[in-house]
Structures are given as structure tokens and as C-alpha cells.
Chain A
Amino acid sequence: MPTPFITPEILFEARRHFLKLGAGALVGSTAISRLLAAMPEEIQLVYAKDPNLSKLTPNPFEHVSNYVNFYEFSTDKTAPVKMAQAMKLKPWSLGFFGEIAREEMVEVDDLIAKFGLEERIYRFRCVEGWSMVVPWIGFPLYKLLDYLQPNAKAKYVKFTTRHEPDIFPDQARGLFASIKHPYVEGLRMDEARHPLTFLAVGMYGKPLPKQNGAPIRLVVPWKYGFKSIKSLDLIECVEEQPLNTWQAMAPEEYGFYANVNPTVDHPRWSQAKERLLGKLTKQETLMFNGYEKEVSHLYAGMDLRKQY
């Protein structure tokens, strides 16, 4: 039976957010709320700086913000830049479910308030053979997991991109969609709890541009970029290994682990070298994308040719 008198959750959240803005509530026009939706780009985030001990040089912001794989919009790398601008980022609550002590929905802003922000300058290597260096802003995933308190059955963490065809046109294409929607990724619990594993809400000191997976995305620097799922909707702790989207699409080409590994080629192309964005020359790809010291123990005894 329909219940017309209950405010839909989204509107409720929107109103709550709006009321928070005190002065804005007095005006109450859609123009203002639109203005507010556009605001995050201007905000400068407050965060602890990365000491950048490995002396990485970040790519220019223009590279990172104009060259994205965001198939929910388009398979083209620049088209999402324009297409994503209509996205409404507030309210945006993240759902936490599964084998955890506290199942709930939390607003991204509340997560930021709870866990604080820090900068992480990471290498980012795409399975297609290009790479970049990005100064992300966010918080490590283990902080969130500590808060959610996964139980003994929680062996994996499953991530899901928001499914909202009004925002993401490719999700409305049904059979003609470029990939299966919604996009799903997964990590083993020890990978998820690794201090390098990061939830980013910003980059270059500012909130994430919409085309880069706003308002919140995963960043796993030692894995190919497709593991770093964008515009998160759900984070679930689960017992079974999740079937990630690219593995479901082409299991002989993309596995669950997707660790950057110059010695294991993609069936169609070599992974030994990479094209750093902006460069006409190539560079060697590093084992685990240069994070071998930090993460190799996670895969001790595993055959990385089989568990690709």
C-alpha cells in the first residue's frame, strides 16, 4: 500500500542538509540549493599533508581530471567530464551492511567529520597500460572498518557503485550497456584493512571532481585502477568472495586480485611497461605498482599467474 504522507528518504536527507545551512533555510529557493550542489569544487579541504617520502611527482590536475574511465557515463575518457556535471552530490549517504555490528546509512560529510582527512600521494596504474600519480584526500578504509566492527564471518569487503540511471546514462541502456551495472568490486579483508587502502573524497586539496568518482571512491594503489571503484553506494562485509564486474565481464582477462604485476601479461597486451600520462616515453611497471615492500606479504605462497 502506498504511504503518501511519509517523506521519501532522499527528500528527508535533503531537507536535513538544507536546514543545517541556517541562513539558506530562510531563502529556500531551488536556485540556492543548486548553488550549494555546485559548491564543493570551490571548497578547500582541511587535511594532514603526505610527507611524500618516496618523492613522487603528481601529474597536473588537468591530466587526472580529464582522463577517466567512468563507463557509467561513457567509454570515452573525456566525455564524462561534461556528462558528470549534472550529478547531485548532496545528500549522498553510504550504506554499510552485511557481517558488521552496525548496519546503517551515513552521509559522506559525517564520515569526513568522524574519520578526518589526510593526503596520500599514490601511483595509479590502469590495466590498459597508462599510469599517473595522484594526491588523493580521504581516510584509510581500516578506520571505517574499525567503526563498523565486522564479525568473524566477514571474510571479504564488497563495494557497489550507486545505481541511479538518472545520473548514469549507461545504467539506463539495459542490454546495450557497456558493462554490467551496478559496478561491483571486492577486497579480501586483510587487503581492505591494509593501511594503504584508502577511501578518497578529494584530490589536489579539493573535493573529488564529479568525473573522478565523487563524492567518495576507493583507492587501492597496488592494484589495477579498475579495483578503485567510483561513486560508492554500498560497502558490505561478506563471507563469500564477491564477483567483481570486470571478472564477470571477461574472467580470462581480469581476475579478483588484479595486482599490478609486470611479469603477468594481460592476454591481449604486455604489462611490463606503462605510459605515464603526459609522457611520450614509457617507463618500467613496478611489482605491486611500487608497493611491494608494503603488500607482498599478503600474497605469500599464492601463484600470481593463476590468481591474477
Chain B
Amino acid sequence: MNRLAPNVPQLGTGAPITAAAWNRFVYAAGFHLRAPSALLAQTVMQAVASSTTTRIAFDQALRDTEGGHDPGTNSSRYTVKTAGTYLVSTYAMMQGSSPAGGEESVAIIVNEAVIWAIHILPRDPGITNPMFSCTAEIPLQVGDYIETQLWQDSGTAQTTLSTSPSNACWMGLHWVGT
């Protein structure tokens, strides 16, 4: 579903408050109360290969007001239907690994090109299961897609630790302005 961002017009002197103007206000009120948003979750563990970027596959949408997520095709993506600025937040957890000294990270990436937020942890075998989160405010156009990207360079594949909606990697986003 594609929606236009609201725009209630200013009126000039003597201009009547027409039905069209009033209805644009009603549309704006409804839009602001229920702006485009999504909350995607992973409930099935996923392999995270060593030294290869891995995008988290989200098999469930706990919320998706615009239909920007398809669990069957490119399930790692949320594709923007309404242009604007979005607050995006993500959380991930995966198996700990060794040896010490490398990196593990989670990032928010747009169009497989631009990383808007990232949190890196140095690999420490003392950390049983690294967990990360990051947040960014991102200007987006219709058709842009947002993903959560994992990285680890331990030398062997690890897995995410998602098992249910209450124990999941997730990504949430919300339209917050033009």
C-alpha cells in the first residue's frame, strides 16, 4: 500500500474552508495517528558465515501497516512504500565464538550500500552470546529497502539465536516525518 504524506494547506484571506481542505486535515490526523510502521522478527535460527555479510531473514511481521515486508521473497528487506524519514531500530544476537581479536557487529543498511548505524563488539570468548542493537533516523524514498546486517570473522559459521517472537532478532521502523 502506498500512501502520500499528509499536507494540510494554508488558506488565504477570504478563502472558504472547503470539504477538500477539511478532508485533507482528516487524512493528516489519521496518518499521524497511524503512520507507516513495521516490526519484523526472526523466529528461525540462521547461519552467519565467517567474513561474509549476512542479512537477517525476518520470517514474521508483527506489524506492517504498508505491506513493505514479504516473508516469502527477500525476507530480509523492508521496502519503503511511503517516502519520508524513518526511525529504524534493530536488535540481534548470535552464538559467541573464538579466537579473541576479531569483530562481531550488527548494522542497519539501506539498499545494500549505505550503513546508517552499526555496533561493533571485539570478539571475546568470554562473551557467551553477543547481543547488539542500534538505532538511526534515515531519509528514505519509495523503493528503498532496509536490512539488518550481521558480521563475524571467527573462521567458522555461527548462528543467530532466534527461536520465537519473544526470543528473536528483530527490526522495527516508523515514519516520523517528511
* A and B associate: no
Chain B contact residues, CB within 8 Å of chain A: none
